[in-house]
Amino acid sequence: MAGNLVNVTDASFEQEVEQHAGVAVVDFWATWCGPCRMIAPLLEQLSTEYAGKVKVTKLDVDANQKTSMRFGVRSIPTLLFFKDGKVVDQVIGAVPKAALDAKFKQHTA
């Protein structure tokens, strides 16, 4: 995984996301998911553009079902935006970079 993306698991989720001070984005994805692969490079770009402002993480839903179920993730890709450990927003499905960028801006303003 290149750039500033961090892979998280059921075991590391609390430490990496819920205890993170500031904004964290979790990409709930799977290797077989075409739309997930479409937004992956966009998230990588945004993780670099917002380095130091937003922590961008990826959680494989197949390997980490406990966390996916806990947050009610039923379709992927789902992006959950956390601020100081609390869910503040979500994006479901593959959306254009401009839409993702707007969400990142909204939560870092």
Query: pLDDT grade, residue 4 (50/70/90)?
Result: confident
CATH number where 88 lies: 3.40.30.10
Q: Is residue 50, in this structure, part of any structural domain at all?
A: yes
Q: Is residue 94, in this structure, part of any structural domain at all?
A: yes
pLDDT at 21: 96
Tally of domains within the chain: 1
End-to-end CA distance of the chain, in Å?
Answer: 27
Q: Is residue 31, in this structure, part of any structural domain at all?
A: yes
What's the pLDDT tens digit per position in 19-60? 999 999 999 999 999 999 999 999 999 999 999 999 999 999
Residue 15: domain span: 6-108
pLDDT at 70: 97
Arithmetic mean of pLDDT, 63-80: 97
Q: Which residues are catalytic?
A: 33, 36
Q: Is residue 1, in this structure, part of any structural domain at all?
A: no
Q: Is residue 13, in this structure, part of any structural domain at all?
A: yes
Q: Is residue 65, in this structure, part of any structural domain at all?
A: yes
Structure tokens at 107: 């939560």
Q: Is 30 exposed, middle or buried, given 0-12, 13-18 or 19+ CB atoms closer than 10 A? A: middle
Closest listed residue to residue 54, CA positions, set 29, 20, 88, 77: 20
